[in-house]
Structure 1
């Protein structure tokens, strides 16, 4: 009986101690709640102030969003830390555990976030710029904490993580007002290259939309199997002309200039030498059976002294002096 009484006494004392502890903690708990609530209120005020400051500095909405969120979250974290300290809760272990977990779980998110901050601070490009990132070329529509939004020229919206924009090469076509345009074209080997270069250069210099300083010029690109590659170079002020439209207009004018001056474009040429004594199969052309027809294939013999042309431009003729026959196309 004494044992039961002792157990009851210990239990009662435990409950009393627990309630006493709770009662003793009530003021601290109330204070911690008030501190955290004040932190939320202050966080909203700090966020609004930070956003107004960013807008006054001339930065875009993306920078305003990132700075505002950073100020808000930072203030909340400070308030929560103070509240836990008031409750005499050791937060060192919690912070270490959260830091370890977040380090793995939020690695990519944090990397994109800080990359977004760098983009907004360094401004390698801004909203409205035409850029090339990876395989995508388009107009920057929005820069957020996590990603950059680009609308490519076919109308699709591409979302690129900010970490990729920082770690990879980005071409900003809007960084400078001037842009050089290169137009490739080819002519045959029998064309006077000096004449071609002079005609195209004169054409470029006569166009008022093309900058004359640096002066336009024509360079030789490469020698192909049946053609010489040339490149027309000229500079365009994007504030004065649309370089894509101007490039199309120049290509059309080059074609018209070639036609007016009887300059021939290059086309593939193949020369085939066949020994006359071993060319029976070349002179015998088998007509294919027409689908759905009972007509058998017909054999057609082509005389060796007659030149013939197919739709592909192939012609067969004897080669004088060496008992050979040449086929060109």
Structure 2
């Protein structure tokens, strides 16, 4: 051992280095507790369409602080050579954690799912989505739940775990959405005239996109009727109103043209 190494051992014994390391660990932890929680709250609060109440904001702050303090405690036990004690504490805590985990697993799942939804921005307020057998406009997004306003008016509140584990159809993300309107025409009528009426009805509406152009497809033939399907594309925000308006306009135009349309057949093309 060189004289320099001996001098370091005399002037800076191991316990001094450990004390300095402990001071550094807790100084950094104190700074993170002071600033990191507030930063996380502001970042989530600025996310588009996210609504968090004071309890949820406090929960975010508490979670960040707890993570920082837990990390500092783990480093402290390592620096003080208390790893065996740590193993015993973790073993006991694991048993308690399993029992508590079963009790709050749904709450934790919704909370974590909400964080991922906010970070991924897969769904934001104002989007029209279909999930879990429900469809509607996202009116509120929190860490625990997502509220959908359906076409009929009622608001459906879904746990965020459903959105995280189910297939979500977000029609607002796409640049266009297809309108599909099936009609039934008697086989002995002028099918070409009926298709022309449907096509001209779609072309006359300014909300129908020119590219891709609207078209009329011939579907199934049954009970002496032929299925004609009007296909057109529009902006996602116009889909609901355009679907209703095109159906009404097509029925009115067909009556003027002397073509009788039966009740629409609801089948997939």
Query: TM-score, normalization: structure 2?
Result: 0.70
Determine the C-alpha separation between the residues in 1 that align with 2:211 and 2:193.
Answer: 23
Determine the C-alpha separation between the residues in 2 that align with 1:224 and 1:173.
Answer: 33
Alignment of 1:250 onto 2:246: yes
Listed one character per residue, the Cα deviations across residues 148-179 of structure 1 (whole Å, up to 9, x for unaligned) are 22222333222212222122111112112311
Among candidates 57, 63, 80, match of residue 70 of structure 1: 63
Alignment partner, residue 214 of structure 1: 212
Task: Tell me the secondary structure at the aligned position of residue 106 of structure 1.
Answer: helix
Alignment partner, residue 51 of structure 1: 41
Alignment partner, residue 50 of structure 2: 61
Listed one character per residue, the Cα deviations across residues 270-300 of structure 1 (whole Å, up to 9, x for unaligned) are xxxxxxxxxxxxxxxxxxxxxxxxxxxxxxx
Displacement of 1:84 in angstroms is 9.9
CA distance 1:92–1:246, change in 2 (3 Å): closer
Q: Is the 8 A contact 1:226 1:266 kept in 2?
A: no
Determine the C-alpha separation between the residues in 2 that align with 1:169 and 1:252.
Answer: 33
Alignment partner, residue 234 of structure 1: 232
Among candidates 232, 241, 259, match of residue 263 of structure 1: 259
Alignment partner, residue 138 of structure 1: 136
Q: Is the 8 A contact 1:140 1:149 kept in 2?
A: yes
Aligned CA RMSD, in angstroms, stands at 3.4
Alignment of 1:95 onto 2:73: no
1:98-113 to 2 correspondences below 5 Å: 98-113=96-111
CA distance 1:162–1:55, change in 2 (3 Å): closer
Displacement of 1:81 in angstroms is 7.0
Larger Cα-atom Rg: 1
Determine the C-alpha separation between the residues in 2 that align with 1:125 and 1:98.
Answer: 36
Q: Is the 8 A contact 1:62 1:120 kept in 2?
A: no
Q: Is the 8 A contact 1:125 1:175 kept in 2?
A: no
Displacement of 1:245 in angstroms is 2.0
Structure 2 residue runs without a partner (length 5+)? 1-25, 264-269
Structure 1 residue runs without a partner (length 5+)? 1-35, 268-329
Determine the C-alpha separation between the residues in 1 that align with 2:61 and 2:136.
Answer: 28
1:93-172 to 2 correspondences below 5 Å: 93-172=91-170
CA distance 1:96–1:209, change in 2 (3 Å): closer
Determine the C-alpha separation between the residues in 1 that align with 2:51 and 2:76.
Answer: 32
CA distance 1:98–1:143, change in 2 (3 Å): farther
Query: TM-score, normalization: structure 1?
Result: 0.59
Q: Is the 8 A contact 1:201 1:218 kept in 2?
A: yes
Displacement of 1:114 in angstroms is 2.4
More helix by share: 2
Alignment partner, residue 180 of structure 1: 178
